[in-house]
Structure 1
């Protein structure tokens, strides 16, 4: 009586179904293992995606140029000049020069506090969409070039300067640390930055035309800027453009005077950190798969002993050792695959729940690769740990087996 694989599958299922509790307990180890591995890897990918999105919301895809403070340079020794901006115009970027200086305001009569005064070109939100207007408007290009006494406030600055009042339309009275006073009409207030990096951007800043700072500040030098933001145009390659920017500044001023960084380089660092975390979490979760595999081997070995008579009978009726081995291997693999599927389904459910409830995880990611890996590993675990019990079953001597009580 030759036995085809289909018959073997049927018998494998019957045997697993006949011992429901035992099969379920063996399954449990695999379910937990696959669930843990799938959930951990996907959470790692979701975290990376969340961080990248938040970074882009705060800084966009941009390149930053500033004096290299690590090398002891500062705004006066390494300013950015008009001709540098001209050279940058040739690249696929928007050129946004900026000036920074400290400014003070009276929080109550006789008491002064500091905030940041930042000079920018007009219509900044058009140039760099990460700046969003909440109320009012941004000063125009014309106002900026004319150096008009207008200002846009960051959300924090509006709360500090005009607590409990609408800032737009008010006049902000500010003092340079040297004593000179400027009165600026507030034309707009920016939205507070969002996401986990929101905290970095929530400084109290007054944005005003660069021309105005050159006209009024005791320290700012006309024609010199402190910092340049270069948002990349669509489809521009961040690494390539970063290298070109670096080349422009190195050919003009030599190495080490200016620091050129891109948001992509921050993302690269973050990615390697999250990858290390993923690998660690995945390895820990993988241990539970190993435990599940050992559980399956145990249960199959018990099953071989229990079914000694059945095996003897099948051999006496003409089943070959190969067929017996095949039946036990099929049982082990079916067990682990069912366990693997259940684990993946549970993980998918948990990830959906997390995406729905935890604001940081915005994107739902369960990659086919992860699912395939989890199932392949669980099937391999079944094969690996099923081999010994199957070999033991196949090696039984039919006559001894039939005598077995």
Structure 2
């Protein structure tokens, strides 16, 4: 009897006891489904986190005084000559000022907004800055120090509730009581994704020279610098070059130089740990399913004792008997693995269609191959004992079995 005959007999045995076979492979289906779903959801979450983080911060490097080490704007200044040194790198240099300013929704009631000074044409420098209405003030308008403003979506709602702010003049107040009347030329798109809350602050964007002229900020100094990486630029290499420039000029430990890719790497590592943990927990169901397979195969050996005795009497060797039952176990678990993967694909497709965060469907071929391989190994492992028991039966005693 050849192995192909054993495959045929294995399928006949399984199809002859369909309900029992289905109940046996159910544990494998659940196990493979759970593992495939958990691992793929982890990959989809990682892709979603990367997409949302890039959407709000892009591929960027942030430079500011290292406040954790006691540095401040005086001990760790950022000047025009520093910006000129950064221009040689494969980045777009975006210096910025940061402060607070007040507005009056009604007389005598003043509330705070964030005030941010930027260069002109910011959307052309930073791809994460997107205009929803109007426009951004131009580079020539910014250099001329014109009293113009662009509002964040939250600021537009706070300053002009129910009204279109474009072309309107907003009156703001500095902490010393001096006044700033700015003409609104644009409104930014609201931030999206799971990190949208990081960019939901009510912010007024104004030209840097205008803020210097107001006397509220030190001229020719910047609070922080955003470096938007050019396409293909190596973030780690650029980060090291930036650190070298500032450490050469001012010494070590005065500046915080952080890359968004380092944030992404940290988040990916956390996701991988959670993915492995959830996958391991889900994998326990495979163990339970394997025990169920072994139990069913032991019952099958008992029920087919006379059949085994007859085959041995007709010349079947112990190896062929062992092979037959191992094939049955592996076929059973492989079928369960395939069904589990198909169910996982359906659920993942549904999740990616209904949940915006998981908008990217991810199912790695490696994950599918691993799931099917593990299911086959489970069948092989838990089928060894029943197969060995069947192979060890004495043909005379087996033929007498009632």
TM-score range, shorter chain: over 0.9
1:222 Cα offset (Å): 0.7
Match of 1:177 in 2: 175
What is the alpha-carbon distance in structure 2 between the residues aligned to residue 156 and residue 21 of structure 1? 60
Task: Check if 1:239 corresponds to 2:224.
Answer: no
Q: What is the aligned length?
A: 402
Of 371, 374, 382, the residue aligned with 1:374 is 371
Task: Give, in whole Å, the separation in 2 of the partners of 1:29 and 1:284.
Answer: 14
Deviation readout 1:35-65 (Å, 9 max, x if unpaired): 0000000000000000100000000000000
TM-score where L is the length of structure 1: 0.98
- Of 231, 254, 258, the residue aligned with 2:255 is 258
**Structure 2 residues without counterparts, runs of 5 or longer:** none
Give matches, 1:324-343, under 5 Å: 324-343=321-340
Tell me what 1:358 maps to.
355
The 3-state SS of whatever aligns with 1:94 is strand
Cα distance in structure 1, aligned partners of 2:93 and 2:354: 39
Q: Does 1:392 align with 2:355?
A: no
CA shift at 1:160, angstroms? 1.1
Q: Distance in 1 between matches of 2:104 and 2:74?
A: 28
Cα drift, residue 77 of structure 1 = 2.8
CA deviation after TM superposition for structure 1 residue 92, in Å:
0.4
CA distance in 1, matches of 2:252, 2:74: 17
Q: Where do residues 286-297 of structure 1 align in structure 2 (5 Å cutoff)?
A: 286-297=283-294
Match of 1:208, SS state, is strand
Structure 2 distance, partners of 1:240, 1:77, is 26
Alignment-derived partner of residue 160 in structure 1: 158
Alignment partners' CA distance in 2, 1:18 and 1:217: 90
Q: Corresponding residue for 2:147?
A: 149
Q: Could you tell me how far 1:257 is from its partner in structure 2?
A: 0.6
Instruction: Show CA shifts across 1:85-106 (max 9, x none).
Output: 0010010000000001111111
- After TM superposition, the runs of 4+ consecutive aligned structure 1 residues lying more than 4 A away are none
Unaligned runs of 5+ in 1: none
Which residue does 1:304 correspond to in 2? 301
CA RMSD between the two structures: 0.7
Partner of 2:186: 188
- Give, in whole Å, the separation in 1 of the partners of 2:169 and 2:353: 44
Deviation for aligned residue 1:78 = 1.8
Asked if 2 retains the 8 angstrom alpha-carbon contact of 1:80 and 1:227, the reply is yes
| 8 Å CA contact 1:176, 1:217 repeated in 2 | no
Structure 1 position 13, deviation (Å): 0.5
Select 2:93's aligned residue among 92, 95, 98. Answer: 95
**d(CA) in 2 for partners of 1:77 and 1:146?**
29
TM-score by length of 2: 0.99
Whether 1:249 aligns to 2:252 is no
